[in-house]
Structure 1
C-alpha cells in the first residue's frame, strides 16, 4: 500500500513539474523583444558601426520587436550579421530582460590595394571592401588586383605582425616581374625585396642595417637598399 501511494505521489509530482515548465515556457514565449544591443570584441576603430548592426537586427523580420520570442531564430540572425562585409564573426543571444544582444568581431585589414579598384587585404588573406566609416592605417599596395593580391599575403602579414616594420613601411609595390619593392615612412631610399622568399632572414638583415645606418647618421646617403641576396644587404648610394 505504501509503495503504491509513493508511486502516485511521484506521478503527481512529475505532472506538476511538467505543468509548471509548460506554464513558464508559455509565459516566456509570449514576452516581446524589448530592443537590441551591440558589443564589439575590441576597442579598435569601427569599420561597421553600432547603428549599422542595430539596423540589421531591427530590420530583420526574425528579430522584429513586435514578434514573440518563440518566433526568433538566433541562427538566422547570426547568419545575417556574418554576411556583412565588415564582420568576421557575430554571436547573437537573447537576454533575460528581452533584449537581443550581439557580440561582433570586425574584420581587420592589413594592407590597402590602390589602383583601378581599391580594397583591403584582411588578416585572414581575404579581400575586404573599403569602409565608409573609417580608413585603416595600413601599407598601400600598388600594382595589385583581386587576381594577384593573395601572392603578397605572406609578406604583408609578416609586416603587420612586426612592430618595427609596421611602424616604418608605408608602401608595398608589385613590379612587373613579380618582385616587390618597399617604401618607408622616414627614409628616402627604396627597399628592393625581390621574391617573397626568406622573409624573416631578409627583414632581420634589413633591421640590423637600418639601426646601424641610423646610428651612424647615414640613412640619407642611400637611394636603394637590396635585400635579395640572402645574408647580405647591398646598398646603392645617391
Structure 2
C-alpha cells in the first residue's frame, strides 16, 4: 500500500514538472520575436510577384518592423492582407517552431490579356480581372472586340479550354469577340481566321479543328486558306 502511495506521489511530481516545463516553454515561445519572414511563391516560373513585394506588404502590416513578439501577431489579418493583393490567388501564413514567419503565396493564373480601348489587363483562371505586372508578361491569347461579352461564363470557359490544352495554348494567339457573342480566332503561325462561331459545342469544335490541322499540315495546304469555319460541328469548312 505504501509503495503505491509513493508511486502516486512520484507520478504527480513528474506530471507537475512536465506541466511547468510546457507552460514555461510555451510562454517563452509566445514572447519570442519573429525573425525576417521567408516567402515562397508557388509557380515562380511566372514571377508576377516577387518575395520582396510580399515582404514589403508583410512589413507594412507589421508596422515597419519584423521585430514583433509571436503573441502580438494576428496571422489571419496578415493572410487577408496578402490575399487582397490583386495578383494573389491565395496564401498561407504561419510561424515555424524556430520563430520564423513563413508565407506561401499562390499567384493568380492569367488565361488571356484584354485590350479594351485605353485599358489592358488579364483575365485570370477564375474569370476575374487581373492587373499587369511590371515583373513579368504572360504569354496568353489577346482578347479584343466587344469586351462586354468577354466576362460571360461561356467565354471564360472557352479561354480555360485553350489554356488547359497544350496544342491550343501554343497555337491560338488572339480572339475577337463579336457583338453577337461569336468568336474569331487567330493562329500563331498561319494568317487564316478561325471562325469559331458562338460558344457552344466548344470541345467538339476544337477536336474537329485539331483533327483538321494535323491532316492539313501533312498535306502542306494551310497557307492557302483564308478562313477555317468551325461553326458546323460535323464538318470543317475552309475558304481559300
Q: Do the structures match in fold with TM over 0.5?
A: yes
* CA contact 2:111–2:125 (8 Å) conserved in 1: yes
In the alignment, what sits opposite 2:225? 222
Task: Return closer, same or farther for 1:109/1:144 CA change in 2, 3 Å cut-off.
Answer: farther
Write the distance in 2 (CA, Å) between the matches of 1:187 and 1:146.
Answer: 28
Q: SS of 2:226's equivalent?
A: strand
**Cα RMSD for the two superposed structures:** 1.9
* CA contact 2:32–2:70 (8 Å) conserved in 1: yes
Q: SS of 1:118's equivalent?
A: strand
Structure 1 segments unaligned to the other structure (5+ residues): none
* CA contact 2:195–2:231 (8 Å) conserved in 1: yes
Deviation at 1:43, TM superposition (A): 3.3
Write the distance in 1 (CA, Å) between the matches of 2:53 and 2:69.
Answer: 23
Matched pairs, number: 237
Q: 2:145 aligns with which of 132, 143, 162?
A: 143
Q: 2:177 aligns with which of 159, 174, 179?
A: 174
Structure 2 segments unaligned to the other structure (5+ residues): none
Q: In terms of mean alpha carbon deviation, does 54-63 or 92-101 score higher?
A: 54-63
In the alignment, what sits opposite 1:163? 166
Instruction: Map 1:1-16 onto structure 2 (within 5 A).
Output: 1-16=2-17
* CA contact 2:111–2:160 (8 Å) conserved in 1: yes
In the alignment, what sits opposite 1:195? 198
Q: In terms of mean alpha carbon deviation, does 223-232 or 20-29 score higher?
A: 20-29
Task: Return closer, same or farther for 1:146/1:70 CA change in 2, 3 Å cut-off.
Answer: farther
Q: Provide, for residues 12-42 of structure 1, a one-character-per-residue CA deviation record: whole Å limited to 9, x for no partner.
A: 3332222111111222222211211111222
Instruction: Map 1:73-112 onto structure 2 (within 5 A).
Output: 73-112=74-113
In the alignment, what sits opposite 1:132? 134
TM-score with structure 2 length normalisation? 0.91
In the alignment, what sits opposite 2:215? 212
Q: In terms of mean alpha carbon deviation, does 11-20 or 212-221 score higher?
A: 11-20
Q: SS of 1:211's equivalent?
A: helix
In the alignment, what sits opposite 2:32? 31
Q: In terms of mean alpha carbon deviation, does 148-157 or 170-179 score higher?
A: 148-157
In the alignment, what sits opposite 2:121? 119
Task: Return closer, same or farther for 1:63/1:15 CA change in 2, 3 Å cut-off.
Answer: farther
Deviation at 1:96, TM superposition (A): 2.9
